[in-house]
Amino acid sequence: MTKGSRPTIDEYFLKIASVVAERSTCLRHHIGAVAVRDKHILSTGYNGAASGLKDCLELGCLRDELNIESGTRHEICRAIHAEQNVIIQAALHGITLAGATVYCTHSPCILCAKMLVNSKIKRFVTCSSYADDAFKELFEEAGIEFEMIERPPASISQLP
């Protein structure tokens, strides 16, 4: 995006996903996701502990304490991933994600990829890679379009 120009739709929704990520309670990665259909936001999600439970900001990171590398041993983490939360929030509000695009600040882990396949999304757009790329083969088999674009600028441009 050049100065004075308008962000593309993909840049726009990835910027929104970045703002959503600010709510994360993970000490390792702040990840945000936005599910969109027909340029309309369906749901948002960020990574953090289950609602109402103590999180890593309060308790510290169990994965760091145990020296677990990123992309492995997901069951040790207290957090629900941003992609999982975007699916859960849609379900809680009776919204289908079928045919939607999910914009996420990172590519998905294999567990999230399986859930996204079952939620029937058609497209996944990100600007950063997660430690695990096993999702690519699964997305290809399921017919989910995957796009990696350049990270949009964090600044907000407004005309005077």
> Which one is catalytic: 11, 75, 83, 145?
83
**121: Cβ contacts below 8 Å, ≥ 6 apart:** 35, 97, 98, 99, 100, 101, 102, 144
Contacts of residue 94, Cβ cutoff 8 Å, sequence gap at least 6: none
Kindly state the average pLDDT of the residues 97-110: 96
Distance (Å, whole) CA 78 – CA 39: 32
**Above 70 in pLDDT, residue 35?**
yes
Sign of CA dihedral 104, 22, 87, 85: positive
Residue 94 amino acid letter: G
Determine whether 83 is an active site residue: yes
Q: How far, CA to CA in Å, does 79 sit from each of 30, 45, 52, 148? A: 11, 12, 12, 24
- 2 pLDDT exceeds 60? no
Q: What are phi and psi of 83, to 5 degrees?
A: -65, -40
Give the phi and the psi of residue 48 in degrees, each rounded to 5: 175, 170
Question: pLDDT (tens digit, 9 = 90+) per residue, 46-94?
Answer: 999 888 887 777 777 777 677 777 777 777 777 889 999 999 999 999 9
